[in-house]
Amino acid sequence: MSEENRSDILTVSEQQPKAEGKKLQFNLIHDYPQKNAELLSSQYGFNIFLAGLLLMFAWAIHAVGITDRDLLSYLITLMLIQMIWMLWYIFRSQSFRRSNIEKDTDAGARWLRCGITLFAVITLILDSFKIGYYIGYSECLSITEGIFPVTHTVHTLLQVYFLWFHAKDIIQSFKTLERFGLIHAVFTNLLLWANGILTESKHELNEHKERLITLGFSNITMDHHTPECNCTSSVCSIFSQGIYYLYPFTIEYHILASTMLYVLWKNIGRTVKHHQQQKIHFKFHGITIGTVLGLIVLTTTVAVLVVYLIQIGRSKSKSELALNMFYLYAITVLILMCTSAVIGLIIYRLENKSLDDSESPAKKLDSDLLVGSACGSWLISWGSILAIICAETHPEYTWYNLPYSILVIIEKYIQNLFIIECINRKEEEPTDERSERIFSVSTRSNLSLASSSYDVINDSVTICNKEFPYISNSEVPVAEDCAEEQRSQDNNNSIRLTPCKVSIHTTRPAKLNKKRRVLKNIAAFLFLCNISLWIPPAFGCRPQYDNGLEEIVFGFEPWITVVNLAMPFSIFYRMHSASSLFEVYCKA
Amino acid sequence: MSEENRSDILTVSEQQPKAEGKKLQFNLIHDYPQKNAELLSSQYGFNIFLAGLLLMFAWAIHAVGITDRDLLSYLITLMLIQMIWMLWYIFRSQSFRRSNIEKDTDAGARWLRCGITLFAVITLILDSFKIGYYIGYSECLSITEGIFPVTHTVHTLLQVYFLWFHAKDIIQSFKTLERFGLIHAVFTNLLLWANGILTESKHELNEHKERLITLGFSNITMDHHTPECNCTSSVCSIFSQGIYYLYPFTIEYHILASTMLYVLWKNIGRTVKHHQQQKIHFKFHGITIGTVLGLIVLTTTVAVLVVYLIQIGRSKSKSELALNMFYLYAITVLILMCTSAVIGLIIYRLENKSLDDSESPAKKLDSDLLVGSACGSWLISWGSILAIICAETHPEYTWYNLPYSILVIIEKYIQNLFIIECINRKEEEPTDERSERIFSVSTRSNLSLASSSYDVINDSVTICNKEFPYISNSEVPVAEDCAEEQRSQDNNNSIRLTPCKVSIHTTRPAKLNKKRRVLKNIAAFLFLCNISLWIPPAFGCRPQYDNGLEEIVFGFEPWITVVNLAMPFSIFYRMHSASSLFEVYCKA
């Protein structure tokens, strides 16, 4: 609530009252204080969200009189309202195009919009699968199950267009209606996200129950929603199978969309200090070690996942083997991740960059989401730890589960510190300390470096890199001598300094000193590791279900409930930290 | 994360590196960036909280191997750590007493500290009851059940002392350790709060089950934790009964303490703009109508509660009668509350005061808590609405339940707008528009008012009040003519203005113009209404359990779970809004 348009409030209070009646009408509609407009809309948002959540809850527990159709109708209505609002906004902003709309440089980064487009494409495939499935079973499915994917397709197309062109807008006029539209969009996406999670959880739970039945547990009731007629086409089973492999992407799409819309909502009426932010460029350069290690982890993960899914639930010994393999592999990866994040943190302390204290909703949301979603997996890990401590029997794999759970907690703790500090570090100024360093180096070794610093402008990247290790290695003495040398040789070197500065701007990627290169490698490695750790839980490898220990201690129902509530956040954490690490990589 | 000590960060970045090794050590300990110290400590807090929550959850569902003793030991450990930290802080701040500690004027208001002391006293009584209960059953209760209330007593005494003298501190030195201590205290109190809620919910649920058994439902299992030996003294039953009447106050005590500690934590390292805040004085004056109406509501509530508790669960017809009575009464009160809050909002629009845009953690927390805790009761209300829509049979009382549930949603929506706008309104400056108005009035009617404005200084309050209705009624023409009259008669009235201004400062309570008096009445009325609506759910009148309709639609277990999770927030909302309305009353 901090980003209030101060000038707007002031003009309201400075106006002198003219005619009481007219004034009242005027105030209630146009000059409603923006702090309250925020509250007014957020309370509306919470209410549609809570009502939707309860509908989902009621449907999930098979409440009397509440069907699939009710829930889908509610979601369709919300999507239609959002589409009408988006169309209104798009047309209105096109007609006002000449007036300069302010932009928030932190919001809606290009890579974020590319990411959301990718997920949206997969979502569209999912929708087409659903439509195909509906056509196959159209005799016995309700019409809403056909309308829903069609509406969702249009909704996705329109929303991606909207986010692509308007994610950076800072809305300054007619704010109240915009606030309502945006908060409606935020919570519509959150409900679609929750709906995706619910469907996915039900599916996972059923698969788990099927495995348990294979293993000999008989007192388990399945919860299938198979249609009561035969499919008219031959591809129905492909559709119904394929849908569940695409769900993880749809879930990410909706949560990403809602965070982008939320930032738009927070930005309404904000006054931005215009600090010229450098555009973040992705350059694949000097990060070979990190990338190679990361890719090794990624391929190993896929291999482990395939073996796990084949082995688990076949027999007791095969299941235990699969669990042991998964835990050992995960422990190794987590230790590597912890180590690299700690190295990153130590480098930060050595660099001593100042933190950016400007209040940006996009940055604040990023860090809140990281900590908030980490809580999901911390909850599961604490559950495992508690179960291991309290269990009466300890099969072998529990002794891998304990370090695994502890490492999950520690790794997220450290990684959050690493990411959030980098996000909040100040962008480097054009006249930063590096130019000073080069300056002082060139003053110290006049003969050897003066000429080579001229060369940098025209020469290739490799030559630059040969120069710079020297600079970063000799940093300490340089810094110590810097002050007095600068004073004594100031007149002497003023000419030499100019080309040196030019070299900084023309050959930017070449300036990677050792620390920055290590940071970039760490970010690349952690990025690939997080993608790797996203894959297993998203595609059905959930040892928290399969190891059985927690289920014995807490009971089947309570533990499944905890995992189903917390797991979506844990999965989202990996995706979100990967996208944040991409930013870290670009900024490092 | 916005209240970073900017100067601190800047000094860190401006330091030139001296010796790499020493610098590293120095940085890691002393100059750790405060943004990260906040993150470091909050992540620690989340982890001890989640571990505690899982322990409670495990205990509540009777998980294998987890006993009462484990949970209490965990809580005792947390309390001991907090006490050590508080002692360290108190002694340290006493030794630094001469250095000026900055204070946050928004935090830890006197009435808040008085409130927490009152609740703490009741908590101490509860603890002594628990000790008495333990002594009575000491043969068969574990020692932790005796140690817990003793530790809790010492903890309460020390914490109230700490909050009374340090709630306004803005800590500027050794911040990292302070952050850890405070966040530990915040989450310890939150866990004690959650523990209180859990015990209270279990008790309520058992009472509800007893009623159902009386009404003829036989397939219900009770969940009693009665000791397996006889009490050695005769007052054991008094203790065990009394404990449950005192629980609501303990719950409020812990949540209040944790919010105050959280504000302290957010304030660490903050730089406060020194706007001289007026001290809020409570004056009971000119609010007869609001108070009388509020007291009528309060007494009616107590009467309704007593009748409800006597009637409910006796027989089916008596239960329905009790439910009808409660709903009709609550609908009436809620309509009155909505109306008065709407009037309050209209007055705000007429007054056009500017909002305070300074970022104060205390104010931000206040509004977040109001909206957040309102979500609890919105969830229950949406559940009721959904149940009424979907139910197959509709007993008479459901037609009262529907408007009741809708009104609960609307009332909280409007009341939040009313409270939060007032909290965020700017304090009135000594030279505010009212003095201008009086000035312009005296210039317009020189003959009639010039003398009477002199009288104000010496005359009684009633004379002042007679003067001021005229001013507020004639506001519109005065404002229109103000500018030109001021210019033309500026020299003429400079002498007359002085006594007029004096009158404003000497007879402050007299200055209540009509609008402010209405606002004060509304605040007083809403304050008493919120206290009234806090009483029934806190002391066992929960129609959401008793009307049975939601239980039929959602099923017994799921609905009870929803109510048990959401009800504590709903109860807390009433208490918190009452305390906020007290502030509204003082500021209006």
Amino acid letter, residue A108: G
Tokens standing for residue A436: 């000073």
- In this structure, the answer to whether residues B199 and B323 fall within a common structural domain is no
Q: Is residue B407 part of a domain?
A: yes
> Considering A272, A297, A328, which residue would you say is the last residue of a domain?
A272
Max mean pLDDT among A130-139, A427-436, B75-84 falls in: B75-84
Q: Are residues A265 and A390 in the same domain?
A: no
Q: Report how far residue B52's alpha carbon sits from residue B457's, in angstroms, rounded to the nearest whole number.
A: 61
B554 occurs within a structural domain: yes
Average pLDDT, integer, range B243-267: 89
* Inside any domain, residue A502: no
Give residue B432's pLDDT: 41
Q: What is the pLDDT of residues A510-520, one digit of tens each?
A: 445 788 889 99
Q: What is the mean pLDDT of residues B145-156?
A: 95
pLDDT of the residue at B486: 42
The alpha carbon of residue A277 is apart from the nearest alpha carbon of chain B, in Å, by: 20
Give the pLDDT band of residue B218 (cuts 50, 70, 90). low
pLDDT score recorded for residue B451: 38
**pLDDT over 60 at B425, yes or no:** yes
Whether A310 and A214 map to the same domain: the answer is no
Confidence of residue B427 (pLDDT cuts 50, 70, 90): low
Q: Retrieve residue A90's tokens.
A: 């798009």
Which pLDDT score, from 0 to 100, does residue B497 have? 38
> Is the CB of B357 less than 8 angstroms away from the CB of A6?
yes
**Maximum alpha-carbon separation in chain A:** 91
The 8 Å CB, 24+ separation contacts for B431-438 are B434/B504, B434/B511, B434/B513, B435/B500, B435/B501, B435/B504, B436/B482, B437/B471, B437/B475, B437/B478, B437/B479, B437/B482, B438/B471, B438/B500, B438/B504
Q: How many CB atoms lie within 10 A of CB B33?
A: 25
Interval B83-139: pLDDT, tens: 999 999 998 888 776 556 677 777 777 878 888 999 999 999 999 999 999 988 888
Q: How many domains does chain A have?
A: 2
pLDDT at residue B429 above 90?
no
Average pLDDT of the residues of chain B: 77
> Are residues B392 and B517 located together in one domain of the fold?
yes
pLDDT-based confidence at B10, cuts 50/70/90? very low
User: What are the tens digits of pLDDT across the range B51-66?
Assistant: 999 999 999 888 888 8
Q: Mutual orientation of helices B398-424 and B514-538 as an angle, nearest 10°? A: 130
Confidence of residue A209 (pLDDT cuts 50, 70, 90): confident
Tokens for A181?
Answer: 């539209």
Contacts of A554 in chain B (CB under 8 A): 57-58, 61, 63
Instruction: For residues B218 and B326, state if they share a domain.
Output: no
The band of A292, judged by pLDDT with boundaries at 50, 70 and 90, is very high
Banded pLDDT at B273 (limits 50, 70, 90): low
Pairing mode, strands A169-170 and A102-103: antiparallel
d(CA A209, CA A551): 13
Residue B170, strand partner residues: B102
Tell which of A216, A240, A272 closes a domain: A272
Q: Which helix (H) or strand (E) holds B283?
A: none
Residue found by looking up tokens 């009481």 in the block? A20
In a domain, B445, yes or no: no
Residue B203 pLDDT exceeds 60:
yes
Please tell me if residue A395 touches chain B, with a CB cutoff of 8 Å: no
Residue of A nearest to B422 (CA): A36
Distance CA A214, CA A218 (A): 9
Q: Which residues contact B236 (CB under 8 A, 6 or more apart)?
A: B132, B133, B136, B137
Q: Nearest to residue B148, comparing CAs of B172, B164, B126, B168? A: B126
- Taking CA atoms, B190 is separated from A444, B92, B284, in Å, by 60, 26, 35
The Cα B325–Cα B535 span in angstroms is 16
Chain A residues near residue B47 by CB distance under 8 angstroms: 378, 382, 409, 413
Q: How confident is the model at residue A275 (pLDDT cuts 50, 70, 90)?
A: low
**Interchain pair A50, B382: CB under 8 A:** yes
Mean pLDDT of A47-75: 91
One domain for residues A243 and A152: yes
Instruction: Tell me, yes or no, whether B180 and B328 share the same domain.
Output: no
A59 — contact with chain B (CB < 8 Å)? no
Residues A171-185 as b/e (b if ≥16 CB within 10 A, e otherwise) read: bbeebbbbbbbbbbb
What is the nearest CA distance from B289 to chain A, expressed in angstroms?
Answer: 26
- The confidence score (pLDDT) of residue A532 equals 94
Give the list of residues 6+ apart from residue B192 with CB closer than 8 angstroms, or none: B75, B79, B152, B254
Residue B152 has pLDDT above 90, yes or no: yes
What SS3 string covers A221-243?
CCCCCCCCCCCCCCCHHHHHHHH
Q: What is the average pLDDT value for chain A, to the nearest integer?
A: 77
Q: Measured between alpha carbons, how far is A409 from A430 in angstroms, rounded to an integer?
A: 39
Nearest partner of B387 among B525, B515, B545, B230, judged by Cα = B545
In a domain, B162, yes or no: yes
Mean pLDDT lowest among A155-164, B66-75, B261-270: B261-270
By C-alpha distance, which of A42, A33, A73 is closest to A55?
A73
Instruction: Tell me if B431 is assigned to some domain.
Output: no
A95-112 tens-digit pLDDT: 776 556 677 777 777 878
Question: What pLDDT does residue B19 have?
Answer: 44
**Cα A532 from Cα A523, distance rounded (Å):** 14
Q: Which two tokens stand for residue A190?
A: 């959150």
Residue whose pair of structure tokens reads 């009160």 in the numeric block: B333
**Spatial distance between the Cα atoms of A133 and A226, rounded to a whole number of angstroms:** 12
How many residue pairs bridge chain A and chain B with CB atoms within 8 Å of each other?
Answer: 223
Is the model's pLDDT at A549 over the cut of 60?
yes
Tell me the pLDDT tens digit for each residue of B377-408: 999 999 999 999 888 888 877 889 999 999 99
| Helix %, strand %, coil % of chain B (to 5) | 75, 0, 25
In whole angstroms, give the CA distance from residue B127 to residue B250.
10
pLDDT value of residue B109: 78
Shortest distance between the Cα of A454 and any Cα of chain B, in A, equals 28
Residues B149, B36 share a domain = yes
CB–CB contact A375 B46 (8 Å):
yes
Nearest Cα to Cα of residue A408 among A565, A536, A245:
A536
Is B317 found in the same domain as B220? no
Task: Look at residue A196 in the predicted model and tell me its pLDDT.
Answer: 92
Structure-block tokens of residue B149:
């209330």
Do A361 and A251 fall into the same domain? no
- pLDDT by residue (tens digit) across B525-543? 999 999 999 999 888 888 8
Confidence of residue A455 (pLDDT cuts 50, 70, 90): very low
The string of pLDDT tens digits covering residues B15-55 is 344 444 444 444 444 456 666 788 889 999 999 999 999 99
- Asked if the structure places residue A177 within a domain, the reply is yes
pTM for the complete prediction? 0.77
Q: Are residues A166 and A299 in the same domain?
A: no
Sequence-ordered list of residues with C-beta below 8 angstroms from that of B174, at least 6 positions apart, any chain = none
CA angle B439, B444, B446 (to 5 degrees): 90
pLDDT reading at B455 higher than 80:
no
Last-in-domain residue among B239, B272, B305: B272
Q: From the centroid of its chain, how far is CA B114? A: 13
- Decide if B50 touches A, using CB distance below 8 A: yes
Main-chain phi, psi angles of A170, to 5 degrees: -115, 105
Give pLDDT, residue B224. Answer: 63
Chain A residues within an 8 Å CB radius of B6 = 357
Tokens standing for residue B46: 């989340």
pLDDT at A31: 53
Q: Tell me: do A337 and A192 sit in the same domain.
A: no
Q: Residue A582 belongs to what domain range?
A: 283-426+509-587
Q: Chain B: nearest CA to A367, how far in angstroms? A: 9
- Which residue did the predictor score with more confidence, B348 or B428? B348
Nearest CA to CA, how far is B474 from chain A (Å)?
11
3-state secondary structure of A313: coil
Residue A448: inside a domain: no
Name residues 550-569 of chain B within 8 A of A (Cβ): 552-555, 558, 562
The per-residue pLDDT for B527 is 94
Report the residue from A6, A386, A476 with minimal CB separation from B55. A386
- Check the CA dihedral A414-A419-A423-A425 and report its sign: positive
The answer to whether A342 contacts chain B (CB < 8 Å) is no
